[in-house]
């Protein structure tokens, strides 16, 4: 098999597997000896870890999820020539986080891993989305709503702040941002239903069991 073809396959697969590392699950095992999927909301992300185990485990989960998104894109970029390989790596890192093979495809919602992935892919374009996230959390204390609003801003930020790239590179990143936003918002559909019903817990409140 052609070596470049092998790398084209290995890069995206590596990005998925790195994204699939279940950081929150592992942190919860170390700090609480529990399966985080059976606690709180049942999600393996930093918000549920915070509500279940406290601040330090949540910070470690957040940092680990961001780091694996960044590393996944960096690995994909190193293995696959062309900007599209890194863009595909960003999407697959989020896919891995949301549907990790190591946990029988029951994972998180992708927001922290997506942040890390786009910090590696299009660093300046994450600034508007991060700012929106902070404003919404500070104003309403709904992490889910902040995540959804940030995802809606991400493709626009990538398009507007990617003016120094070549056209093909720019639109590869925009496409990755759109697909990532769709995945993350879809993963928040239960949160959207609770927001509409007025039952979504705010930051610092305990979530109902999944």
pLDDT digits (tens, 9 = 90+) for 73-97: 999 999 998 888 999 999 999 999 9
Q: Which whole number is the average pLDDT over 5-33?
A: 91
- At residue 42, the 3 state secondary structure works out as coil
* Cα 189 from Cα 129, distance rounded (Å): 19
The number of C-alpha atoms within 13 Å of 110 and in the hemisphere containing its C-beta is: 29
What are the tens digits of pLDDT across the range 135-192? 999 999 999 999 999 999 999 988 887 655 555 578 899 999 999 999 999 999 999 9
pLDDT, tens digit, for every residue of 102-150? 999 999 999 999 999 999 999 888 899 999 999 999 999 999 999 999 9
Local confidence band at 208 (pLDDT 50, 70, 90 cut-offs) = low
Q: Is the alpha carbon torsion for 24, 28, 34, 40 positive or negative?
A: negative
Distance CA 181, CA 187 (A): 10
Report yes or no: 62 and 147 within 8 Å, Cβ to Cβ: no
Q: What are the phi and psi torsion angles at 81 (to 5°)?
A: -75, 145
For residue 104, with 0-12 CB atoms within 10 Å meaning exposed, 13-18 middle and 19 or more buried, which class applies? exposed
- Helix or strand run (H / E) with residue 156: helix 143-161
CB-based contacts of 51: which residues, under 8 Å, 6+ apart? Answer: 40, 41, 201, 205, 206, 207
Sign of CA pseudo-dihedral 70, 73, 79, 83: negative
Residues 6+ apart with CB under 8 A from 4: 81
């Amino acid at each position: 098999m052609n070596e470049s073809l092998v790398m084209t396959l290995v890069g995206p697969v590596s990005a998925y597997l790195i994204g699939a590392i279940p950081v929150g699950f592992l942190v919860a095992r170390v700090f609480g000896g529990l399966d985080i999927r059976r606690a709180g909301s049942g999600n393996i992300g930093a918000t549920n870890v915070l509500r279940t185990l406290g601040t330090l485990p949540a910070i470690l989960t957040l940092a680990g999820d961001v780091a694996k998104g960044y590393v996944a894109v960096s690995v994909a970029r190193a293995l696959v020539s062309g900007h599209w390989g890194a863009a595909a790596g960003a999407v697959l890192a989020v896919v891995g986080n949301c549907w990790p093979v190591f946990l029988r495809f029951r994972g998180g919602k992708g927001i922290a891993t997506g942040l890390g992935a786009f910090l590696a892919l299009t660093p300046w374009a994450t600034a508007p989305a991060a700012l929106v996230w902070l404003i919404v959390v500070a104003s309403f204390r709904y992490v889910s709503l902040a995540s959804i609003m940030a995802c809606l801003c991400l493709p626009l930020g990538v398009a507007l702040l990617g003016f120094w790239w070549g056209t093909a590179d720019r639109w590869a990143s925009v496409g990755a941002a759109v697909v990532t936003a769709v995945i993350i918002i879809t993963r928040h559909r239960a949160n959207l239903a609770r927001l509409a019903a007025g039952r979504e817990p705010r930051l610092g409140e305990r979530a109902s069991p999944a």
